[in-house]
């Protein structure tokens, strides 16, 4: 009976592997000064990174956005939800839109040109991060610039350039979103939104996140009620116009009666009847206008989102700095790994070259 002889081959391969591992370990022990040199280099790099990393102060503000569901679709959504067919996320929350608006240039610009300590937050950011403009043609030195006004249509090219620099400093460059000073997100289970701003200045972080919330909430509310507000303004203007005409007609009738005591002529009676008929018609129109105003006002209030702050940042803010112990551990591990790869790789290369 023939017996397969592949087991001894496997034993030989395993033996060779063990011998190679042992040889690599002996080489590492023999060349430990080289590995130690790499470990020291790794420690040096991590210590330099730790020293050069600034302490930052994250300021976080949480809030909720409540909107009344309007229209027939809300009822349909509720019915479908009972059968598990509707969206699990409430339709009244348009949180993705809020997130998009938080990074819009209109909102961020409004934040930058809010004032803190009698100066624009934009200028505080410029000083804190020492932002400058590119040098002019033929010059080498970068240029310093601070904003003196907030009239965007009157901005020069340099002011627009600095504005865009500050904008991307806050929201992050498209290819470097993790370096953004500002972040926004929400919890899908609780629908609670969170805004955070992290800078190297405690007061600046708190001021920026508060102004960001104010600007975002105001802009979002204005956009949400834009149509209802326009309708309300139209019906209010119409109501006031009718009221003005009604007062004029009433005054004309009173003046007519004062100047015509004891009416005898039918023409005088006809004038009085016309004024009374006009007052009655204007009174009916005014009543209808008041009703329309109440309806428009109720619709405006019903459509206006309710944005409520849950937690706002309080001073002193917690300082965040990389852990020295963690940095040293990373330096040891990376240095040891690179050093081991270098020693073993050099041994393998030497063996290959000698076997040729």
Q: What is the CA radius of gyration of the chain?
A: 38
Q: How far apart are CA 15 and CA 196, in angstroms?
A: 58
Question: Is the model's pTM score more than 0.95?
Answer: no
With respect to residue 315, please indicate whether it lies within any of the assigned structural domains: no
199: which residues sit within 8 A by CB, 6+ positions away? 56, 57, 125, 128, 181, 205, 208
Let me know if 270 is exposed, middle or buried by CB neighbors in 10 A (0-12, 13-18, 19+): exposed
SS3 state of residue 4: coil
With respect to residue 187, please indicate whether it lies within any of the assigned structural domains: yes
Judge if 256 and 220 occupy the same domain: no
Judge if 107 and 209 occupy the same domain: yes
Among 106-110, 165-169, 252-256, 333-337, the least confident range: 252-256
Q: How many domains does the chain have?
A: 3
Last residue of a domain, one of 224, 242, 259: 224
Question: E strands within the chain?
Answer: 57-66, 115-116, 119-120, 182-186, 192-199, 306-311
**Is pLDDT at 257 greater than 70 in this prediction?**
yes
Per-residue pLDDT, averaged over 124-131, amounts to 93
Judge if 271 and 169 occupy the same domain: no
Alpha-carbon torsion, ordered 153, 155, 160, 164, to 10 deg = -60
Judge if 290 and 349 occupy the same domain: no
Closest CA to 213 of 119, 98, 136: 98
Cα separation values, 209 from 14, 108, 195, 298, Å:
62, 11, 7, 32
Element (H, E) at 203: helix 202-224
Last residue of a domain, one of 202, 224, 246: 224
Give ∠ CA 57-58-61 in degrees, rounded to 5: 140
With respect to residue 312, please indicate whether it lies within any of the assigned structural domains: no
Per-residue pLDDT, 16: 77
137: which residues sit within 8 A by CB, 6+ positions away? none
Higher model confidence: residue 285 or residue 322?
Answer: 285
**Is pLDDT at 49 greater than 80 in this prediction?**
yes
Judge if 84 and 220 occupy the same domain: yes
Judge if 192 and 86 occupy the same domain: yes
With respect to residue 69, please indicate whether it lies within any of the assigned structural domains: yes
| Residues of the domain holding 142 | 57-224
Higher model confidence: residue 11 or residue 347?
Answer: 347
Per-residue pLDDT, averaged over 66-87, amounts to 48
* % of the chain with per-residue pLDDT over 70: 86
The pLDDT tens digits for 167-187 are 999 998 888 878 899 999 988
With respect to residue 308, please indicate whether it lies within any of the assigned structural domains: no
Judge if 338 and 294 occupy the same domain: no
Q: How many CA atoms lie less than 13 Å away from 56 in the CB half-sphere? A: 16
**Is pLDDT at 35 greater than 50 in this prediction?**
yes
With respect to residue 1, please indicate whether it lies within any of the assigned structural domains: no
Judge if 249 and 262 occupy the same domain: yes
**Is pLDDT at 75 greater than 90 in this prediction?**
no
Judge if 123 and 254 occupy the same domain: no
Please provide the distance, in angstroms rounded to a whole number, between the alpha carbons at the two ends of the chain. Answer: 42
251: which residues sit within 8 A by CB, 6+ positions away? none
Judge if 23 and 115 occupy the same domain: no
Judge if 173 and 252 occupy the same domain: no
Q: Which residues of 57-80 are buried (b: 16+ CB within 10 A; e: fewer)?
A: bbbbbbbbbebeeeeeeeeebeee
The pLDDT tens digits for 90-119 are 434 478 888 888 999 999 999 999 998 889
Last residue of a domain, one of 224, 246, 278: 224
Judge if 111 and 201 occupy the same domain: yes
Closest CA to 28 of 348, 340, 352, 342: 340
With respect to residue 318, please indicate whether it lies within any of the assigned structural domains: no
With respect to residue 9, please indicate whether it lies within any of the assigned structural domains: no
């Amino acid at each position: 009976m023939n017996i397969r002889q592949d087991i001894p081959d496997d034993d030989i391969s395993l033996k060779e592997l063990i011998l190679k591992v042992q040889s690599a370990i002996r080489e590492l022990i023999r060349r430990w000064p080289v590995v130690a040199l790499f470990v020291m280099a790794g420690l040096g790099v991590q210590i330099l990174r730790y020293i050069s990393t600034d302490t930052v102060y994250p300021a976080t503000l949480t809030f909720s956005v409540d909107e009344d569901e309007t229209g027939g679709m809300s009822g349909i959504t509720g019915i479908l939800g009972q059968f598990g067919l509707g969206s699990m996320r409430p339709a009244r929350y348009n949180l993705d839109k809020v997130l998009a608006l938080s990074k819009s240039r209109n909102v961020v610009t409004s934040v930058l040109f809010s004032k803190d300590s009698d100066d624009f937050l934009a200028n505080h950011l410029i000083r804190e991060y020492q932002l400058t403009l590119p040098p002019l043609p033929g010059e080498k030195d970068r240029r310093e610039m601070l904003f003196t006004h907030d009239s965007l249509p009157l901005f020069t090219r340099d002011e627009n350039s600095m504005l865009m620099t500050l904008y991307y400093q806050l929201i992050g460059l498209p290819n470097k979103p993790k370096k953004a000073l500002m972040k926004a997100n929400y919890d899908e289970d609780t629908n609670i939104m969170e805004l955070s701003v992290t800078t190297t200045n405690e007061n600046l972080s708190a001021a920026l996140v508060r102004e960001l919330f104010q600007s975002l909430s105001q802009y979002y509310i204005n956009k949400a009620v834009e149509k209802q507000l326009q309708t309300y303004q139209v019906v209010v203007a119409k109501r006031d116009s009718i009221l003005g005409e009604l007062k004029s007609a009433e005054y004309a009738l009173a003046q007519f009666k004062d100047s015509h005591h004891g009416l005898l002529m039918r023409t005088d009676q006809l004038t009085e009847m016309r004024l009374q008929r006009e007052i009655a018609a204007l009174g009916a129109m005014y009543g209808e206008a008041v009703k329309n105003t109440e309806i428009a006002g109720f619709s405006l209030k019903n459509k206006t989102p309710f944005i409520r702050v849950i937690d706002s940042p309080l001073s002193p803010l917690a300082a965040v700095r990389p852990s020295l112990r963690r940095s040293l551990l990373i330096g040891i591990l990376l240095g040891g790994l690179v050093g081991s790869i270098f020693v073993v790789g050099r041994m393998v290369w030497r063996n290959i070259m000698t076997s040729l």
